[in-house]
Each structure stands twice: as C-alpha cells, then as structure tokens.
Amino acid sequence: MSSWGNQVKISIFGESHGPAIGCVLEGLPAGETVDLEAVRLQMARRAPGQDRTSTPRKEADTPQVLSGLLHDTTTGAPLCAVIANTNTHSGDYQNLLAVPRPGHADYPAWVKYHGFQDVRGGGHFSGRLTAPLVFAGAVCRQILLRRGIVLGAHAAAVGAVEDLPLNPLPEVLQNLSGAYFPVLSAERKDAMIREIEAARTAQDSIGGIVECGITGVPAGLGGEGMFGGVESIFSSILFGIPACKGVAFGAGFDAAKLHGSENNDAYFYDESGAVKTRTNHAGGILGGITTGMPILFRAAFKPTPSIAKEQQSIDLAARQNTTLAVRGRHDPCIVPRAVPVVESAAALALLNLPGILNGSAEV
C-alpha cells in the first residue's frame, strides 16, 4: 500500500527509474497559502548530487503541481504534484534481476512479485520515493507554522560520531530545518564527513541517526484508543521511509536503564501559569497523548545496502551461490538527506492528530 493517513492522506506513486514520481494529498484545508519557493528549498535539501556524502546522481527535483492549488492557495481539492526522473542509468541494474543485493528488498520482492518487480534503482522500494514525501511535508509544515508549530531535525549520529543533544527551541529548529546536512556542532560535522568519506573510499557505506524536535504542539492531542496514540501515528509513517530501522521517543531505550524516580518528568507551573515538566524523558507524549512539552524522537537508518565492495549472494536463475559487486550511483550515507524526509514525515503525522487544526486540545 502506498497511501497513508486519515485526516490528511498521502498517496505516493512512481518508481526510481520511471518517467516520474509524485504524490496526491487529500484532506488539506482550503484557503491555505503555499509558498512554492519554500517548498523547492525543502526539496533541494533532499535532492541528490550535492556533495561527496551523497549519490552523484543529479536531479533537479522540481515539483509540477497539477491540481489543488489556485493562485498558490489550496482549493480543498486533492493536491497532486509530479517530479520528473531525468538522470537514470537503468543499465547499472540489469544483473540484479538474477542476483539480489544483500540488505536490499530485491530477494523478498522477487518472491512476492514473482520476478515482475522493477529492479532499476530499487523501483518503488527506492529512497527516490522520498522526494514526493518531502514535497508533501513542505506543504504541511507551512500550515503548521501558521499555527505556531515549529519542527526541525539534525544528524544526531553518523556511525560512531555523535552530534550534540538537541535543545528544541523554536529558533534552533528553524535554523536546522533550512540547512543541508544540519548539525549542532561544526566540529562534529567535520568528523561525520570524514566517517562517510572513509566508508565511500572503502567501497562501503555507513548508517546513522536523525533526531527531530517539535514545539508548539498543545497538550491533549492523540490518544485515540489503545492503538491511536501519537507514537503509533508517527511510527507508522516513519517506518515507511526506506532504510528506517528504529524509532524512539524521548529517552527511548535509555529509559530502560533508569528508575521511575529518574525517568518521571516532574510537573510545575511556569511564570505564565502553564503546566510544564522539569525534564522531558517522555518526549512530549504520555499515554499516546501530547503533554504540551516539545515532541522529541530519533529515527535510526541502516547503511546503504548498495555498495561496490564484493558481497556474497545467490544467482536465482542458476540456483547457485555467487558474489556481487553493485554498480551504479549510491549514497555512502543517507543520513544527511534523510533529515528533511524525517521532518516531512513528522509534519504529515502532526496533521493527522485529531484537533491539530481546530485548537480543540487543552493548552
């Protein structure tokens, strides 16, 4: 299924090496101004070919809006946009019809689709499909920003190199959400780049973590029954991002090391009389419901499976063991380009929280 969402529904279509990719957004409120230049800036953050940390495949990733906008304002009709694929090297993938890449979806897709799946660039399993997701997120984040909700993310880790912890102040999040490969420490970014370059030179790849913060979300949203909590909504779209292998909110797995007295976030009234907590181990969510504190979560991304280093595999046609060295153009680390994708998924998740647009939650 390539559709997600209840209040605001996104459907993504296309393949990595097809003529185009795109999306349809249904359920957006009418009368919302969309700054298309701001959308293009978000698309550029995700676009390939920017430096040696990403694939050399170059795509303009300019979205063409087909419906749903009139005079740069939403009409209430489905918003549809397409993005042309202009720089494909489909011949690089010919051998993958018989020899699946370790770590990629090639083999299970071959079983499920009986060999008819599009292997060129990974087909509809490719990270290329995150481009329309970023388009959709770029539209949604503008709607949220008008309601005082600010989100931003950074490369929290590449391999063993970690960035500074995120302090989710609105101005910090705004700065992060406008940058390519955003980090909080320039020194640690240099170390991350060296880590990526070492993997690339060794014909290998490396994974990492994206950390995202969101401010301005009122208390009382989410918690629609046992399975309709905020974490469930966020996780279901985040795990739709190719290569995402883990999602953790607040203290996440580190909470398992704490006592209750350490993990519990103590309440207090601030100078304006608003309810706050002195810490935020919960990541802004308790019982699947927003607490009014910043939402904080991390998404872990595996190393790119397409690597030039020789690996063991199988020949499905000959039914024998073989080796494979992947050709083509691939990211040695997807983390820098995954940051705006995570932000976009978060924006869509937020617009699917009941009450987010009408202010029905308690503040």
Instruction: Please give the annotated binding residues for NADP(+), written as ranges.
Output: 46, 52
Q: Go through the chain and tell me how many residues it has.
A: 363
Query: Which pair of tokens denotes residue 359?
Result: 């202010």
Among 272, 273, 267, which residue's Cα sits nearest to residue 286? 267
Interatomic CA distance for residues 39 and 142, integer angstroms? 9
Helices (H), the chain: 36-46, 106-113, 130-145, 170-176, 186-201, 230-238, 260-263, 335-351
- H or E element that contains 267: strand 267-269
Instruction: Give phi and psi for 171, each to the nearest 5.
Output: -70, -35
Interatomic CA distance for residues 10 and 340, integer angstroms? 17
**Rg (alpha carbons) of the chain, rounded to whole number:** 21
Write down the residue that tokens 């647009």 correspond to. Answer: 357
Among 101, 81, 88, which residue's Cα sits nearest to residue 18? 88
Which residues are known binding-site members? 46, 52, 124-126, 287, 302-306, 329
Interatomic CA distance for residues 296 and 49, integer angstroms? 30
Longest dimension (CA), the chain: 73
Which residues are known binding-site members for FMN? 124-126, 287, 302-306, 329
Helices (H), 181-320: 186-201, 230-238, 260-263
- H or E element that contains 300: strand 295-301
